């Protein structure tokens, strides 16, 4: 949440910052701003999306080879021009952008007000820049030293970049619990919340660690220190990402592109890890801790949002295939309870971004209790990826649409491989079923491709229900988490109220809502409990509900009952979610487009939720 980007070097900073902000807009789009430093620092900021800022900049100075930029997801203070970043110190000398939350800002603000500081905005960020100013002017310190001391007094999360009008030619950046990446070019540096604004300029990056401060200079020098003033040697990574991955590639929205990428992303997730012919699965992270994982007392899966839904499928998979006890936890709940976690547990974190603050904090807590921490993450080099004991990247490539699609199916693919790998080692799955599932899993990308062929039908169905105010999603077994995910997709991008429910639970409440206006989307591909789900559909029809059923190809029973059916190819039951979720992603997408919603940037949401 909130994206920051900064540049110092030999080129004009403005286009680099604006392109960077566009790439980071998935992190928040309440306001955007830049500060450009030529002879003075000039701050320009605007409520709304980056495009509003671009329009505003038509009449503003845009020169300078140094600058910082920000796109905001509001925490403290409404989204308006004044609360927009960058924020400046009282004397105007310092300008700062920030991602995170300064939790003790009220105390710091009161103390600074006593010293005569006056604040223009309601933000915690403005307090931080005034704090740095106060420390700097009291002892006449260089910027980096003032920043360092200020940060020792801050409680909370931050990634910041600061400019000082009296110290031209340099930027100071720092991080704690919010990401900051430094791109290294020829006598130039790029600082950003993730690598996406950097990739078109350089592939050489340094991921700043918590409580580290970087000084980068126009002359090409970089120094990194800890908050305790130790000089550190940075480790330079080579980015494995191409610029095309960040473009829409002819699609209207990133979300649609990402839905269509799934045959490839699922295959990428399996590449080199699964060999159906030879009958093996290799997962480096699991192999490294094979005995500890296979003999764990229990798995605890911690995640948020769509990743939590993938985790729920993980529970079904691990229980069935590896006979392993599993608990699936909302990371935000887990961390604030007093959970019983021991060194015999394995805590598995699922996170697309690898930066979700609640997930990160839950893992830190579990680590302290001695559990083995396993990360299933998409963004390479992210905070969760770096703090875990072991893990597997899902290799879905950059996901830019705020509503997660391809990361979800890659997470489920990874969990399926993990359950198979562990089940095989534990002897809880027969050789023949193991081989069968391996073959089936290898055929999933082609089957996902076949689901895409129903796109026109799905678009037609979307037109039928786009104006209904509510929707109910029902599923059983492996399709229950898919009902939850389908409902979440619909509400987050089309603003239609939707609920996911276990189909049998419908009669304990939601059935009261059913009438001819209620679309009920039933994911009915089950082999086990098939008759039961047919009965559930009959119960809905008896109350005049409008039924859209996702069924297995060739199903004639449900197509007689339902108002519309969408067919998916047959597969083994544990693999069904990888196919049944696809029509629901497409359905939400089309409904959102028809309702003229901004599919990629739904209101109030953001990706990479770095606030708690």
Active site residues: 2, 607
* Look-up of token digits 């990479």: 608
Cα dist. 414→265, 283, 400 in Å?
11, 9, 20
- Min dist CB 359 to ligand G6P, Å, is 5
Among 353, 392, 526, 610, binds ligand G6P (CB under 6 A): 353
CB of 142 to ligand G6P, least distance (A): 37
Interaction of residue 31 with ligand G6P, rule CB under 6 A:
no
**351, 428, 525, 526: which one binds ligand G6P (CB under 6 A):** 351
Task: Work out whether 332 is an interface residue with ligand G6P (CB under 6 A).
Answer: no
Q: Which of residues 388-447 bind ligand G6P (CB under 6 A)?
A: 402-404
Alpha-helical (H) ranges within 28-123 are 50-57, 105-114
Nearer to ligand G6P, 305 or 391 (CB): 305
Q: Is 356 in the site for ligand G6P (CB under 6 A)?
A: yes
Contact present, 515 and 543 (Cβ < 8 Å): yes
Minimum Å gap between C-beta 386 and ligand G6P is 15
Residues 30 and 5: beta-carbon distance below 8 Å: no
454 binds ligand G6P (CB under 6 A): no
Cβ partners under 8 Å of residue 460, min gap 6: none
For ligand G6P (CB under 6 A), the number of binding residues is 16
Number of Cβ within 10 Å of residue 350's Cβ equals 33
In the bound state with ligand G6P, the residue whose beta carbon lies nearer, of 428 and 608, is 608
State which of residues 95, 262, 306, 576 lies at the interface with ligand G6P (CB under 6 A): 306
**Residue 359 lies near ligand G6P (rule: CB under 6 A):** yes
- The position carrying tokens 């927009």 is 84
Interface residue with ligand G6P, options 12, 54, 605, 612 (CB under 6 A): 605
Please report whether residue 493 would count as binding ligand G6P according to CB under 6 A: no
For the chain, give me the number of helices (H) and strands (E)? 20, 27
Question: Is the Cβ–Cβ distance between 409 and 445 less than 8 Å?
Answer: no
Residue of minimal Cβ distance to ligand G6P: 305
Distance (Å, whole) CA 344 – CA 125: 41
304 binds ligand G6P (CB under 6 A): yes
Tell me the C-alpha to C-alpha distance, in Å, between residue 14 and each of 9, 11, 181, 233. 12, 9, 19, 30
In what side-by-side order are the strands of the sheet with 204-207?
Answer: 41-47, 31-37, 66-72, 3-8, 189-192, 181-184, 204-207, 237-238
What is the nearest approach in angstroms of ligand G6P to the Cβ of residue 308? 7
Local structure of 374: helix, strand or coil: strand
In the complex, the smallest distance separating the C-beta of residue 296 from ligand G6P, rounded to whole angstroms, is: 23
**Cβ proximity to ligand G6P, 16 vs 498, nearer residue:** 498
Where along the sequence are the contacts to ligand G6P (CB under 6 A)? 304-307, 351-353, 356, 359, 402-404, 605, 607-609
């Amino acid at each position: 949440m909130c994206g920051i980007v900064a540049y110092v070097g030999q080129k004009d900073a403005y286009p680099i910052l604006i392109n960077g902000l566009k790439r980071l807009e998935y992190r928040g789009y309440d306001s955007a701003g830049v500060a450009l430093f030529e002879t003075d620092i000039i701050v320009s900021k605007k409520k709304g999306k980056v495009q509003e800022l671009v329009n505003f900049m038509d009449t503003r100075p845009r020169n300078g080879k140094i600058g910082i930029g920000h796109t905001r997801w509001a925490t403290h203070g409404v989204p308006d021009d004044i609360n927009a970043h960058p924020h400046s110190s009282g004397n105007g000398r310092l300008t700062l952008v920030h991602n995170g939350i300064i939790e003790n800002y009220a105390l710091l603000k009161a103390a600074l007000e006593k010293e005569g500081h006056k604040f223009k905005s309601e933000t915690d960020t403005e307090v931080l820049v005034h704090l740095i100013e106060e420390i700097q002017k009291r002892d006449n310190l260089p910027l980096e030293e003032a920043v360092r001391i200020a940060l020792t007094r801050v409680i909370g999360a931050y990634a910041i970049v600061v400019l000082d009008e009296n110290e031209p030619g340099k930027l100071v950046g720092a991080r704690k619990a919010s990401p900051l990446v430094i791109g290294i070019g020829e006598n130039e540096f790029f600082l950003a919340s993730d690598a996406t604004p950097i990739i078109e300029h350089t592939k050489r990056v340094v991921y700043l660690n918590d409580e580290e401060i970087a000084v980068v200079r126009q002359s090409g020098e970089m120094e990194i220190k800890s908050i305790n003033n130790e000089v550190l040697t940075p480790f330079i990574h080579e980015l494995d990402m191409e610029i095309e991955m960040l473009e829409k590639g002819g699609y209207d929205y990133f979300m649609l592109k990402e839905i269509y990428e799934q045959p490839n992303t699922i295959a990428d997730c399996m590449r080199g890890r699964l060999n159906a012919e030879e009958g093996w699965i290799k997962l480096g992270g699991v192999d490294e801790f094979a005995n500890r994982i296979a003999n764990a007392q229990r798995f605890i899966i911690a995640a948020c949002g769509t990743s939590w839904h993938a985790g729920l499928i993980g529970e079904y998979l691990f229980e069935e295939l590896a006979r392993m006890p599993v608990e699936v936890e909302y990371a935000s709940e887990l961390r604030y309870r007093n959970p019983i976690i021991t060194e015999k547990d394995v805590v598995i974190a699922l996170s697309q971004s690898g930066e979700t603050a609640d997930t990160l904090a839950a893992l830190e807590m579990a680590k302290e209790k001695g559990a083995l921490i396993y990360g299933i993450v998409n963004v390479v080099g992210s905070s969760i990826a770096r703090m875990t004991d072991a893990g597997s990247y899902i290799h879905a490539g950059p996901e830019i649409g705020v509503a997660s699609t391809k990361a979800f199916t890659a997470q489920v693919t990874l969990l399926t491989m993990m359950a198979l790998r562990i089940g095989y080692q534990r002897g809880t799955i027969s050789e023949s079923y193991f081989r069968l599932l391996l073959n089936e899993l290898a055929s999933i990308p082609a089957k996902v491709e076949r689901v895409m062929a129903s796109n026109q039908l799905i678009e037609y169905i979307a037109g039928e229900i786009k104006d209904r105010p509510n929707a109910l999603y029902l599923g059983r077994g492996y399709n229950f988490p898919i009902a939850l995910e389908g409902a979440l997709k619909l509400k987050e991008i089309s603003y239609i109220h939707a609920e996911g429910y276990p189909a049998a639970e419908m009669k304990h409440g939601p059935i009261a809502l059913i009438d001819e206006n209620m679309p009920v989307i039933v994911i009915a591909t089950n082999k086990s409990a098939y008759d039961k789900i047919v009965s559930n559909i009959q119960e809905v029809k008896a109350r005049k509900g409008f039924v859209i059923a996702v069924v297995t190809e060739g199903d004639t029973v449900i197509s007689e009952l339902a108002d519309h059916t969408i067919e998916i190819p047959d597969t083994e039951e544990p693999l069904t979610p990888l196919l049944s979720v696809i029509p629901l992603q497409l359905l939400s997408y089309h409904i959102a487009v028809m309702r003229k919603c901004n599919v990629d940037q739904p209101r109030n949401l953001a990706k990479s939720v770095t606030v708690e």
